[in-house]
Amino acid sequence: MIDLDALRERLLPERDGAVHDSIPELADADPERCGLAIAGADGAVRRSRDADLPFSVQSAVKPFLFALALLDTGGAAHDRVGIEPTGEAFDAIKLESGTGRPPNPMVNAGALLTAALVDGGDAQGRAERIRSGLSAFAGRDLVVDEDVARSEHLLGDRNHALAHLMRAEGTLALEADDAVAAYARACAVLVDAEALAVMGATLALGGCNPVTGERVVPTHIARDVVSVMASCGVYDGSGRWMRSVGVPAKSSVSGAIVLSAPGVLGAAIVSPPLDDQGTSVRGRIGSELLSAELGLHLFGAD
């Protein structure tokens, strides 16, 4: 049995990386924070110290937005967004050449589109559908941090640019500002390492939440989402990640990483200091250690 507090102690001395400063709420994050959690197929959840501290989910929401978009469009979201890795930063102002679609659902362009595809009738309905859908993945009622949502919406200039670009290409049907608002609110949902681990487990285990027993999405959607996490989840660090960790994952600028080890477990590591690709430094090292210790690498042991 892995000792998550011992693993956390090994990570704490790591001092590399910098806290993201795109919005004041993220810039204020405590760089010493580090929490880990694992949710297994039997519904048992294990946690370290700090695994109950709240943080905004940020880009770790993207796999779940993709899942909800696929669910609500009956799979048609596959025609609206690509699934190829970009080798570029998460907020690159770039669409798929030829089609004008976002390159994949794990970069900002893609998540702006998948958030817009979630069905809710109007803006309020969509926001509630996203919040309740994410809550089903987590197995508990999640709430939005309104300050973070406001800052993301106001200060997300590159997201506004991407939404307008997709409008110009005819690939985003929603008003640009409404798409940014929906995505900003999704990024501002508060989770903790424990909730995020259960969310990752729900995808890893074919769309069924192992804690509540609820089927959140069909198996084929969970499989599609985890496949895209494997190729695109860590942006321009995805190749390196799959080699060293070997577990599909999604990084985020709050320092959270969600991992989905297919058929086995979900895990989350949260620590705010980030490397150049926007991946938590302790999160990456912790994921490597976790993968090695639990034998999670998809392509075999060392």
Mark the binding-site residues for substrate, compressed into ranges: 59, 108, 152, 159, 183, 235, 253
Residue 53 contacts residue 33 (beta carbons within 8 Å): yes
Number of residues that bind ligand GLN (CB under 6 A): 13
Give the C-alpha separation, 11 to 34, whole Å: 8
| Segment interacting with ligand GLN, rule: CB under 6 A, options 36-44, 151-159, 203-211, 219-227 | 151-159
CA 192 to chain CA centroid, Å, is 13
- Least distance to ligand GLN, CB of residue 283, Å: 12
**Residue 202 lies near ligand GLN (rule: CB under 6 A):** no
Nearest approach, Cβ of residue 211 and ligand GLN (Å): 25
Q: What mask, x for binding ligand GLN by CB under 6 A, covers residues 96 to 125? A: ------------x-----------------
Out of 278, 282, 285, 297, name the contact with ligand GLN by CB under 6 A: 278
Q: Is 90 an interacting residue with respect to ligand GLN (CB under 6 A)?
A: yes
Does 291 bind ligand GLN (CB under 6 A)? Our answer is no
Tell me the closest approach of the beta carbon of residue 90 to ligand GLN, in angstroms: 4
CB 67 within 8 A of CB 200: no
Are 286 and 269 contacting, i.e. CB atoms less than 8 angstroms apart?
yes
Are 7 and 14 in contact by the 8 Å Cβ rule? The answer is no
Q: Is the Cα torsion angle 217, 223, 228, 229 positive or negative in sign?
A: positive
- Contact indicator for 67, 221 with CB cutoff of 8 Å: yes
For residue 199, give the 3-state DSSP assignment.
helix
Q: Is 86 in the site for ligand GLN (CB under 6 A)?
A: no
**Residue 237 binds ligand GLN, judged by CB under 6 A:** no
Stretch that binds ligand GLN, among 30-38, 78-86, 152-160, 294-302 (CB under 6 A): 152-160
User: Is 89:106 a contact under the CB 8 Å cutoff?
Assistant: no
Q: Which one-letter DSSP state was computed for residue 60?
A: G
Binding residue for ligand GLN (CB under 6 A) from 25, 50, 91, 96?
91
**Binding site residue list:** 59, 108, 152, 159, 183, 235, 253
Residue type, position 51, single letter: A
Report phi then psi at 231, rounded to 5: -90, -25
* 151 touches ligand GLN by CB under 6 A: no
Residues 6+ apart with CB under 8 A from 129: 68, 72, 118, 119, 120
At closest approach, how far in Å is the CB of 152 from ligand GLN? 5
List of residues contacting ligand GLN (CB under 6 A): 22, 58-59, 90-91, 108, 152, 156, 159, 187, 252-253, 278
